Chains A and B, each alone.
Chain A
Amino acid sequence: MAACYGAGALSSLLAWWSGRLALGVGHLAALAGAVVGLGVSLGVLLGDPGRTLTQPLPVVFPFARLSLSVDGLSAYFLLVISLVAVAASIYGPAYLRAHSPDAGPARQAAQVVALNVFLGCMAFVCCAGDALSFLLCWEGMTLASYVLVVSDDRDGENARAGLLYMVMAHGGTALLLVAFLALTERAGAFDFTALRVAAGGLDSATRTTLFFLALGGFATKAGVVPLHVWLPRAHPAAPSHVSALMSGVMLKVAIYGILRFAFDLLAPAVEPLPSSWGWTVLVVGTTSAVLGVLYALQQHDLKRLLAFHSVENIGIILIGVGLAMILWRREIAGGALATVALTAALLHTVNHAAFKGLLFLAAGSVLCRTHVRNMEELGGLARRMPWTAGLFLLGAIAISALPPLNGFVSEWLTFQALLGGASHFRGPAGLSIVFSAAMLALTGGLAAACFAKAFGVTFLGRPRTPHAEHATEAPPSMIAGMVWLGAVCVALGVAPGYAMRLLDAPTAELLHGPGASAVVTARGPLVLSAALTPSGTNATAISMTVVAALLIALTAMAWVLRRGLRRAPQRGAPTWTCGMSPTARFDYTATAFAKPLRLIFATLYHLRREVIRETAGTPYVVRRIHYTGEVMDLAETQIYHRVERGISGLSQAIRARSTGRIHGYIAFVLGALFVALLLFGVGPR
């Protein structure tokens, strides 16, 4: 098994170099790495419980031993990464060729190398057995994805997005660095086992400080509100299969970090986690979920909309994580609820990776055929790109948490955990958990509305521009990549029982309690029910397979009925449009579709709109109306703009007082050194 892992590492190493040869070879190497990763993770997850693969790495630094260690949690996230990586590396070459045919070999090589580095680093972050290799891979992941973000189109927008991403990511890394170094300094070593021992001796204030440092670092990467501003800019800028990876997987690596820190490295020996941790994560998760979907609703850029949905879904995952933190070791029922919450979060992790990957890939094939990202310029693509449309619809159903697909399963489990958890608390605590559940319900509804808009405006109706009119279906290899993720979505949705078995190892290891399949009844692939109620009744049981079968039966019945009832002769005629000939301008636009929600949530949106009328002579004859509307991000206006103003004000003040004479500055340094030496050097004799 260790040898197999070594091969995975080697193949991804090989991929970096072969990337110079051609797109195809590089992606093939990435695919090989992903498949090996898949094998390793499945091997660990389905093997003996509690088994951990460890593989010491060659000594690079004299002061630290590096190692890889794959336990249940690592293996699970490795699985998630590999699932999407397989799709992305099948999809990638055709996309890059079709999207930017004029790209030079240097740029293509850079993209392939960065992609392989990115994938390798993500996998190794999850498998890192010590703080140093964790941080190195984390940084490699950031840098490689930065290269990918700025590589796609050479325009200022991408460069700015990349810069913002870089700044935010490094801010986060700085926090992580502090957290890790504080631990390694106490432990005197870098490996996680030593850190765990060192964390055992911390007092609770230090522990909490360290946790919040780490949480801040990981939350920046995860794109949690209000640290999400880089995400909707950077993700759409990357090539689509990379967007799929960033959105679907890279954010999950941050979730991995949070879980690793909270339940493993920093967790107290026997007591429950400090209650501030879980509540913070829960509140932050709820906020991200609601705000993410609300901002997503008002986006008309297809990829940007998807990026905002990532904020939402990370929020949903964090709700589960936060709830697990709150409940862990606090409840009487043997830790069943915490396990359910964690199971929900982990399940949503893989589900989100699958459907968000699928959606980004579908958006990518729209983009590479039309070269337009704005939905208002698309339309009518369902006829021209039937496969893409069908797969996008599949992903949309999944992300809207509709049965029988996978999004429903995990959100439903999250609900179960939330409602079950609320009954354990009295007063405001219980109420806020219920509130969180209500917000989750709202999120689900809004997501459905958002995807009704995204799918309807992009794929239905008439083409609004020639770009959309002349679109053709994407090449088969791209479709193959999407079909793979679509199949994952369906499989996880219809037979969630099998997924539960994969979740056993991570949940049992993290919570030192029962595994996922012990608390979530999943009889075979069929019935799904959280065993929460004390009497053991299965009131909340849902059989996903039966639901799927029922839906199929209903559809078939409706179809048969329609065929059977079609007696009257049919006559084709254009739609009656008051005597005008129908044009694409008659269709619902994305802006119009989102209007009611824009009005309801106007306070959150900071609407800015402008209507210009061009009239001909009299005000009653309107020739043309220009409408521009813009939604401002609350976090951006309230936090970031203020910070920006503060910093520029400060630097203005400094500039007014600085002389610009270099000798003065050096003399200042010298004087400061002098004073410091005199003050602190002479101290104790």
Chain B
Amino acid sequence: MNPETVQTIIDDLGALLLFTMILIIAARQISHAIHAVAAQSLLIAIAGAVLATATGNEDLWVIAGVTLAIKAIVLPWVLHWVVRRLNVRREIEPVIAISATLALAVGVVVMSFHLSASLGPVRQAITGNALPVGIALTLLGVLVMATRKTALTQMVGLFASENGIFFTAMAVTQGMPLIIEIGVILDVILAALVMTIMVLRVRSTVDADIADLDRLRG
């Protein structure tokens, strides 16, 4: 594959990633958001595979495989399981209106592109438009966490944000050392585990959601 093809593919993937992110933000049902985040992880795995063939870095294959297995299959399945288990309402409860969040998201994306335009020297070392997309994904994930009430949607936001970090790292460095990537993935697994347990326990003991934690304030 010649570099230009790679760049085109990565750019297209970036666009798709942004699109899935918009889907997550716009989703009115939790299951839609989960599907969207799974699709996003799938795209990241594909991006990893593309970069692996382009650079010949075998570690990236491993990372793409692990991403596919963990983030695109296992974690969404766990989230679905928690939704079923909790028997919560399937609708997303936003803190601020979804349309307002979308407007904010537009602002974030514009700002990311504007920002990365100023990072000239860094950008040249990077495949396509990966940097602004990565930054946008990361920030939008946090935005989702900030504007959604239930813990489950916040988990979705965290995974989306993490995907953004992963994408940036992968595209910027053409593959970090395997041990660091594995560490990051382990981090996600642990976070998912802890949050799942927390959500289930809080729900089963006091019948409240994370959003109600402010009642604890002394």
* Contact partners of A683 in chain B: CB under 8 A: 118
Q: Are B217 and A659 closer than 8 Å at their CB atoms?
A: yes
* Contact partners of A534 in chain B: CB under 8 A: none
Q: Are A62 and B214 closer than 8 Å at their CB atoms?
A: no
Q: Are B179 and A62 closer than 8 Å at their CB atoms?
A: yes
* Contact partners of B217 in chain A: CB under 8 A: 655, 658-660
A197 to B9, CA, bound (A): 48
> Which A residue's beta carbon lies closest to that of B140?
A670
Q: Are B139 and A662 closer than 8 Å at their CB atoms?
A: no
Q: Mark B99-142, 1 if CB is under 8 A from A, else 0.
A: 00000000000010011001110000000000000010001001
Q: Are B213 and A660 closer than 8 Å at their CB atoms?
A: yes
Q: Are A62 and B139 closer than 8 Å at their CB atoms?
A: no
In this complex, which of B135, B146, B177, B215 has the most chain A Cβ atoms within 10 angstroms of its Cβ? B146
Partner of A682, one of B118, B154, B216: B118
- Tell me if B149 counts as interface (CB < 8 A to partner A): yes
A659 to B215, CA, bound (A): 10
A680 to B72, CA, bound (A): 34
Q: Are B147 and A663 closer than 8 Å at their CB atoms?
A: yes
A683 to B211, CA, bound (A): 38
Partner of A666, one of B115, B142, B179, B214: B142
* Contact partners of A661 in chain B: CB under 8 A: 211, 213-214
Q: Are B214 and A681 closer than 8 Å at their CB atoms?
A: no
- Known contacts A658-B217, A662-B211: does B146 contact A667 (CB below 8 Å)? yes
- Tell me if B218 counts as interface (CB < 8 A to partner A): yes
* Contact partners of A670 in chain B: CB under 8 A: 139, 142-143, 146
Q: Are B214 and A660 closer than 8 Å at their CB atoms?
A: yes
- Tell me if B210 counts as interface (CB < 8 A to partner A): yes
Q: Which of B164-214 contact A (CB under 8 A)?
A: 177, 179, 210-211, 213-214
* Contact partners of A684 in chain B: CB under 8 A: 118
- The interface-forming segment of A265-273, A396-404, A442-450, A671-679 is A671-679
Q: Mark B139-163, 1 if CB is under 8 A from A, else 0.
A: 1001101111100001000000000
A673 to B115, CA, bound (A): 13
Q: Which of A37-81 contact B (CB under 8 A)?
A: 62
Q: Are B146 and A660 closer than 8 Å at their CB atoms?
A: no
Q: Are B213 and A662 closer than 8 Å at their CB atoms?
A: yes
- Tell me if A669 counts as interface (CB < 8 A to partner B): yes
Minimum CB–CB distance from B209 to chain A (whole Å) comes to 10
A655 to B120, CA, bound (A): 43
A666 to B145, CA, bound (A): 7
Q: Are B120 and A685 closer than 8 Å at their CB atoms?
A: yes
Partner of B149, one of A659, A663, A669: A663
Interface of A is mostly: helix
Q: Are B119 and A681 closer than 8 Å at their CB atoms?
A: yes
- Tell me if B95 counts as interface (CB < 8 A to partner A): yes
* Contact partners of A62 in chain B: CB under 8 A: 177, 179
> Which A residue's beta carbon lies closest to that of B149?
A663
Q: Are B214 and A674 closer than 8 Å at their CB atoms?
A: no
Q: Are B139 and A663 closer than 8 Å at their CB atoms?
A: no
Q: Are B139 and A673 closer than 8 Å at their CB atoms?
A: yes
Q: Are B146 and A663 closer than 8 Å at their CB atoms?
A: yes
A421 to B147, CA, bound (A): 70
Minimum CB–CB distance from B207 to chain A (whole Å) comes to 18
Minimum CB–CB distance from B89 to chain A (whole Å) comes to 18
* Contact partners of B213 in chain A: CB under 8 A: 660-662
* Contact partners of A682 in chain B: CB under 8 A: 114-115, 118
Minimum CB–CB distance from A25 to chain B (whole Å) comes to 36
In this complex, which of A661, A663, A669 has the most chain B Cβ atoms within 10 angstroms of its Cβ? A663
Q: Which of A204-246 contact B (CB under 8 A)?
A: none
* Contact partners of A660 in chain B: CB under 8 A: 213-217
> Which A residue's beta carbon lies closest to that of B157?
A666
- Known contacts A62-B179, A666-B142, A666-B146: does B120 contact A677 (CB below 8 Å)? no
Minimum CB–CB distance from B97 to chain A (whole Å) comes to 14
> Which A residue's beta carbon lies closest to that of B107?
A674
Q: Are B111 and A663 closer than 8 Å at their CB atoms?
A: no
Q: Are A685 and B118 closer than 8 Å at their CB atoms?
A: yes
Q: Are A678 and B120 closer than 8 Å at their CB atoms?
A: no
Minimum CB–CB distance from B109 to chain A (whole Å) comes to 13
In this complex, which of B120, B149, B218 has the most chain A Cβ atoms within 10 angstroms of its Cβ? B218
* Contact partners of B218 in chain A: CB under 8 A: 655
A660 to B179, CA, bound (A): 37
A662 to B215, CA, bound (A): 11
* Contact partners of B146 in chain A: CB under 8 A: 663, 666-667, 669-670
- Known contacts A662-B211, A666-B146, A685-B120: does B139 contact A674 (CB below 8 Å)? yes
Q: Are A662 and B118 closer than 8 Å at their CB atoms?
A: no
Partner of A659, one of B119, B120, B214: B214
* Contact partners of B135 in chain A: CB under 8 A: 677
- Known contacts A669-B142, A670-B142: does B118 contact A663 (CB below 8 Å)? no
A674 to B214, CA, bound (A): 25
Q: Are B142 and A663 closer than 8 Å at their CB atoms?
A: no
Minimum CB–CB distance from B105 to chain A (whole Å) comes to 12
A666 to B119, CA, bound (A): 27
Q: Are B115 and A681 closer than 8 Å at their CB atoms?
A: yes
Q: Are A678 and B111 closer than 8 Å at their CB atoms?
A: yes
A677 to B119, CA, bound (A): 11
A409 to B145, CA, bound (A): 69
Minimum CB–CB distance from A655 to chain B (whole Å) comes to 6
A669 to B120, CA, bound (A): 27
Between-chain CB contacts (< 8 Å), 24 pairs: A62-B177, A62-B179, A655-B218, A659-B214, A659-B217, A660-B215, A661-B213, A662-B154, A662-B211, A662-B214, A663-B147, A663-B148, A667-B147, A669-B142, A669-B146, A670-B146, A673-B142, A674-B139, A677-B135, A678-B111, A681-B115, A681-B118, A681-B119, A683-B118
The 5 closest A-B pairs by CB, nearest first: A660-B214, A660-B217, A667-B146, A666-B146, A681-B115
Known: A670-B143, A681-B119. 9 other contacts (CB 8 A): A661-B211, A661-B213, A662-B214, A667-B146, A670-B146, A677-B135, A678-B115, A684-B118, A685-B120
Contact surface of A with B, Cβ cutoff 8 Å: 62, 655, 658-663, 666-667, 669-670, 673-674, 677-678, 681-685
